Structure 1
Amino acid sequence: MKDPHFFQDRAILAPTLEAVEMINIYMLEMIAAPEHEYLSSDSALRSDEDSEIQGEWFTTEFLNDTKSSGMPNHKLLLKVGTPIMLLRNIDQAAGLCNGTRLIVNELGEHFIGATVITGTNVNDKVHILRMDLVPSDSKFPIKFRRRQFPIAICFAMTINKSQGQTLSQVGLFLPRPVFTHGQLYVALSRVRSRKCLKLCILDEGGKQQTSTVNVVFKEVFGNV
C-alpha cells in the first residue's frame, strides 16, 4: 500500500457492477487509515413532455439510492492510499480522462488530492472537485443530476471498463458466467502471459469451479 505504483498495471476484473462494488468495499476495509465519507446532492430534472416518467415523482431518497453505469454513487467512502478511476473527462490536455486511474493522497472537505498512475501524465499530482453529472446512457429511464466527485474506487473494475488497457497482473472474479459476446475474451486478453492471470470462478452456491461458460453469439460469424 505504500507503493503508489503497485496498482499501476494490475486490477481485479468482474462482469457486473454489483460484484465490483463488493470487492471494492472488502478491499477498502483492509486499509488501515481513517475513512472519509462524501455524499452527493441529487435532484430530478424536468422530463420531456412526451415522457411517461416525470421527474417530480421521485424523492431525494429514491435518487440517492439510484445507481447507473458511469455515475459515482451517492455515498463515496475513501481512504488515503485508495486507487480510484475518473468517470468523466476533466482535462484531456493534462491526461485527466474517463478511465484514468489515480491514488488518493489527500482528502479535503471540498476536494480530493490524488496522484496519476496511468496514461501520459504518470506521477502528476492533481486536485479533483465535485461536478454536476447526468447519466450518459440515453436509455436510462430517470433524468436526474448528481453533484459528486466524478470518481469510483477501482481495486476492481468491470470487464467492459478494462477494454483498451494492458495490465501486468489480472485477477478475474466470476461469481456468475459472463453474459455478453466476447466479454470473457476481453478479460483474458488484458495480460500478455497466462502466468499473470488468476481466476476465481463460483457456482450459484458460492463453491469454486474450474470452468465457466464462454458466451458467443454465433450469428456474428454468419458472413465471415
Structure 2
Amino acid sequence: MGIQIAPSILTADFARLADEAAKVSNADWLHVDVMDNHFVPNLTLGVPVVESLVKAAPMPIDCHLMIEDPDRWAPGYVEAGASSVTFHIEACQAPIRTAREIRAKGARASMALKPATPIEPYEDILSELDMVLIMTVEPGFGGQKFLDICLPKIRRTRDLVAKHGLDIWIQIDGGVSAETIERCAEAGADVFVAGSAVYSADDPNLMVEKLRTLAADAS
C-alpha cells in the first residue's frame, strides 16, 4: 500500500475526539493508544471510546494496546470495530494464539517492540503477523524525542521480512516529525504514527500530506 500516515489521538483534545479525527480526514489510519497505568505509567481510554471513534472517524482505527494481559483484552478491541490491533510482545504470554484470534475476528494483527526489545527472537512468528510496530520512544507518553538508536532495528526488521518473503508493514511510533520521518522511511518503515507533529500543526491535514511526501521520497 505504500507509505501510510496514522495520526495519534494521544495528543488530541480528548473532549472533542470526533472533531479531532475529522481534522486528519486524509490520514490512512487513526492511531489510538490504549494505556492501563500498569504496563505503562499512564491511563488513557478503552473499548467504549474505541466503539465511539469507529462510528465517528472517517478512517479505520489502529489500536495500540500498551496494557497488561493483551491475550485477554485484544479480541475485544476487534469486536469494538478496530481494523488493526497491536499487542506488546513484552506483555503477551501467547502471541501466536493472540495474533490468530485477532485475525480470525477480522482485523490486522500487529506486534509492538519497546526500544530495548530486539526483533531477532521473534523471527519465527513473523508469519503470524500483519505488522510490526517498532517504538522509537519509551511507550507511555506523547511528545517524546525520537531515539535514533532504533534505526538499526528498523533495518534488521525489514531484512527479516524480506528474507521470509512476507507482506508485513513496519510501523514507527514515537517522535515522528518532518525532521525524523525520512530516516525511518530510508531504514524500511512504511507506516508512521505522528501525534504532536500533526496535532500541533496549524493545518493537521496539510501536515499529514507533508509527512507522507517526505517519507515517500526517502523510501
TM-score, normalised to structure 2's length? 0.29
Q: Hey, which of these two has a bigger chunk of helix by percent?
A: 2
Q: Greater relative contact order (Cα 8 A, min sep 6): structure 1 or 2? A: 1
Q: Hey, which of these two has a bigger chunk of strand by percent?
A: 1
TM-score, normalised to structure 1's length? 0.29
